[in-house]
Chain A
């Protein structure tokens, strides 16, 4: 049930990640040559997602750098939507992406492509960005555009086939404010056009609008608008403390024409120990209000044109507390390798919903759950 919803959201994720990948290089410097191998795990709310991610990047030490990433999500889901409307399932999503960066003087041009594939959702994303370094490399301006095309299928209906298109326009400015302070301002406008809902999920409707005690049913499919336009802007500060450590602070405001607005704020502290260890500590806060066509319970099956009961469109808050530890294995290099690190990152997220409830219990109580996120990865530079 939640598969299509998850992938619909992950499509947007892919679009944003593609443009980020294409814009990773700074204006005047190509990214470092490195390779990463990661095991990732998410466990919470009845959903387990695990898999590997491999990234290899290599340049010619002059003008070109290229990267390839292979990523897998192996999903085992018995989420709240699945247990109330369907039955648990397993599936796998694989994603290939590649990027090429070309540096000329203070300008970097980046192009990337990503393909995501699973049984009921396939997507291709193309991205292009240009970064210009200015004012003695103190300012980097990046503009980017990304285009995504999706094909949506149903695991229960072989004849079902829908499409969706996505456009992402990106601008970012990274500014060295002082010798100890960096600022990055980012703006993304994203437009979606096509089938934006889940082919599986239904809304919850009262059996009798005049008698709430008569119970509810899940017999009415969700109906979403077929367009969506969003704006997001963020400011990110990074400050080097008087001793060798950094503090990062970020704020993002989000707004879209489904009437969702959201605030995201985060703090990060990074502290090296000796020459080999780096510790990270982070906190993140997220708050959004609901889409104007969302309801926990609808009075009637034909109550309005658009109806949704996706908890990601409800009013909710989540908090994350995370830490990371990085150990430099090859501090002084070895043969072809310049250095290598082993890394562990763990985060715990608490989700707390204001107007989404477990339909098997009281509809007056908000649903909540928490999740563990683990990343184990090794990185080498060469």
Chain B
């Protein structure tokens, strides 16, 4: 049983390592037109988003983990 577990762990580990070597971007650079569109951003206007977050934070008990970060295609 222990041997089986060890073999399974090694096999999974090998799979992960080999997987790391062969990770290919599944969205190709030429497929990123939509991701590069300015409307595809979690935070288009920082002054607006900062004010909106502030309005909620002073009136609600919850805080943190607000909105998304970044966006766009990261292809500059």
Contacts and interface: CB of A to CB of B under 8 A. Distances in A.
- Determine which residue in B53, B71, B73 has the highest number of CB atoms from chain A within 10 A of its CB, and name it: B71
Contact of A137 (B34, B47, B61, B74): B74
Nearest to A290: B61
Q: Please name the 6 residue pairs, one residue from A and one from B, whose CB atoms are nearest each other, closest first.
A: A136-B25, A188-B64, A184-B68, A13-B57, A236-B68, A137-B74
Interface string B40-76: 1111011110111111111111111111111111111
Contacts of A345: 48, 52
Interface in A5-61: 6, 9-10, 12-13, 16-17, 20-21, 23-29, 36, 38, 40, 42, 53, 55
B63 A13 contact: yes
B45 A377 contact: yes
A288 B56 CA distance: 13
- Determine which residue in A13, A42, A379 has the highest number of CB atoms from chain B within 10 A of its CB, and name it: A13
A202 interface: no
Contact of B70 (A40, A184, A250, A254): A184
Contacts of B61: 254, 256, 258, 260, 262, 288, 291, 312-313
B26 to A, nearest CB: 7
Interface residues of A, number: 85
B42 A182 contact: yes
11 contacts: A6-B58, A21-B46, A24-B46, A38-B47, A176-B73, A184-B68, A186-B65, A236-B67, A250-B68, A313-B61, A345-B48
Contacts of A187: 65
B46 A246 contact: no
Given A184-B70, A246-B40, A16 B48 contact: no
